Structure 1
Amino acid sequence: MSTFDFPWQRMAAGANLLSPAGDLGVTIFEEITTLAVKHEAINLGQGFPDADGPRIFKVLAAQGISGDLNQYAPGSGILPLRTAIAKHQKRFYGLDVDPGNEVVVTTGATEAIAAAILAFIGPGDEVITFEPFYDSYGATIGLAGGVHKTVALNAPDFQPEINDLRAAFNERTRMIVLNNPHNPTGTIFGKEMLAEIVALATMHDCLIVSDEVYEHLTFGVAHTPIATLPGAWDRTITISSVGKTFSFTGWKVGWATGPADLVAAVRTVKQFLTYSSGTAFQPAVAEALDSESAFFTDFAEDLGKRSEVLAKGLEAAGMTVYRPQGTYFIVADVAPLGFDNALDLARQMPESVGVAGIPLSVFCHADGAERTRSLMRFAFCKKPELLTEAAVRLSHLSAKVGG
């Protein structure tokens, strides 16, 4: 058999997540999390909050479960949620979205991403992402048999070079996947960069898939959906979810919006993945999206303060810190501490100092992994006191690991 005889092998290769030190199929995320649990470490590796979102929405979901919302929802999602999503897009961005045929509810943003890629990408089709990239992009492109091309985002600003971006496009380019705000770097692409992406996509007649799950989690910078730019709507699928904005990552309720023909293709693939899910959660999500504006701004402001708590702690520990403009994550360079391999360090930290982080190299292909060799991602969507304690522990890093 060849190296990639099975779809899961193509997915693993595309994601660059298989742990060479672990068992077959074990990812680096799983390996680090297992080490964190074993050594009772503070886990800043995985991006989920350590506190739930507002109780009122939990109550609504519980009422759905105890009531009669336990069977299949319509494949596109219940109409009240699709209507709420359309209203959200109009309220925040001025986008007119038809809840009847321009919205599909998915099992988290991850399914929306997979359905969009699988709907339009076949063997040999080229898909562009920025690198580092959210792991599911590479995995799903691999599963579809597509060719994954990347455009580097380098420190300190993690913005693409225009010439590199232009060079990535050619006649085989079928899609560009944009993650804005960007995980794992925390950068945000401004209107000028977004306009260049639209121009290139138009020139090469390719689709734009815009993953905007961190749309409300920005710090002093306004989020601009690429679909709002001239010429973008007709070729753009916009994706988001309830998980990040409302701290309900386990609910796995996401959505995709866009022109009816593109959404229909996503919905067609989705019906063979999950068909529907989260029926009891969907009315609660509809209510959540109708929250007062202060909820969104206050949450982002609080999260920004937490990022600064961790940033100062990482700097005090001796790392070079690249402050994020959004998301749950902050990137730090461990090279000033004398470590040139963040992956090796990440495997030692849970035991040595009681903190877990994720090396940025796992979000890259081989060349990108070398460029990001000494960089590590930490999640700051945790309680302030936990972040402070993590910073104290990290201050002992160089003394306890190879120092």
Structure 2
Amino acid sequence: MRSQNTRSVPRDRARSRWCILIPFLPGCAGGEPAPPAACAPGEELFRGRCVAPAARHEPEERIDRDNVVAFGAPLTRLSLPDPPRSGFRIIAPPRTLPPGAETTFCISWPFPAIEHKTVYAARVYTTAGLHHSNVIARPVDPDLGPNPYPDCHPGADDPYGDLPAIIPDVLFASSTQVVGREALVFPPGMGFTLDTSREISTNIHLLNTSPEDAVIEVAYDFFTMPLSERAEELVPFVMNINDFLVPPRATRSVGATCTTFGGNIVSLMPHTHRYADAFDVDVVREAGGEARIYEGGAFDLEGDIEVYRPAIALEAGDSIRYTCRFRNSSEHELRFGLGDNEMCTLFGYMYPPEKQFAAVTRVDGEPCTSFGIGFFR
């Protein structure tokens, strides 16, 4: 340990001496700029420079130009940044809902022409009124042809109705009733690759909780990188409890423990509604032991997406246990469903693709059944 009285050569003087010998060192004239000591809040250090994570692979010059697909009237309430320079934007038709109204419907878009097809970040922009949406891509129906954009053929927004014959791409799933912006940015080197011969659709759920008419506007950005930048290919997984009951004026936990096939968990997002009081997720090791990996509090309008660096490694036979605690302050029973009901769903991304799974518990308290859909890839 150096004493406080020891004299040392100032860092800039020492660097200048090295620069005389090796002029191409970072920070020397003729060399690359020295990396910053620290990045501003909301930025990350990537390849020697501070960047917004979603702009990690944005090129200096735009490479995707005709990359916005929009239907309906122009947006008047959302103020959007420029579309991704590498990637694309889709915009939903604005919808007006009266006070207290709720609706679900399907919207579809064709893929625009884009240079790179590996998505490493996605972002939703929304006014108040978006309850949730799950943006997916499925093959064009061979009998019906392309969707009648922005409307949909029957079943176009069902991500798991044709498993295992059709494994959908899941482009983005938003947190419940998030307002403003929500982003999902994977760690460097990770992303999912699009099949642009497919078409995009979403089951969109709108809910106007205000006492006035609401114009609801929603748009999505997807940021892409060259395939050569992808070290790990990501796929979605989902876990759901299809039926449960919480009596009026009661607090009750609903949950399941579902076996996995191994792999690595990169992100998690819970899905509940306004009666949720807590959402906890644990990894239960087949060899013994368990660890809490997610702990969510009471329902709010903030984003709930959690991204893990490093990823959470699972061995074949390890389980994921998730628990939703509901505080039913109403005079009616809470069951699984839309409207003034609840859901207990866990969604996320993982790798490698062959470990992809979907898990379902038919009724709360019954065993969970896990399907290794990655085996069909």
TM-score under structure 1 normalisation? Answer: 0.25
Larger Rg belongs to: 2
Flag the structure with higher helix content.
Answer: 1
TM-score under structure 2 normalisation? Answer: 0.26
Q: Which structure is richer in relative contact order (CA contacts within 8 A, separation 6 or more)?
A: 1
Flag the structure with higher strand content.
Answer: 2
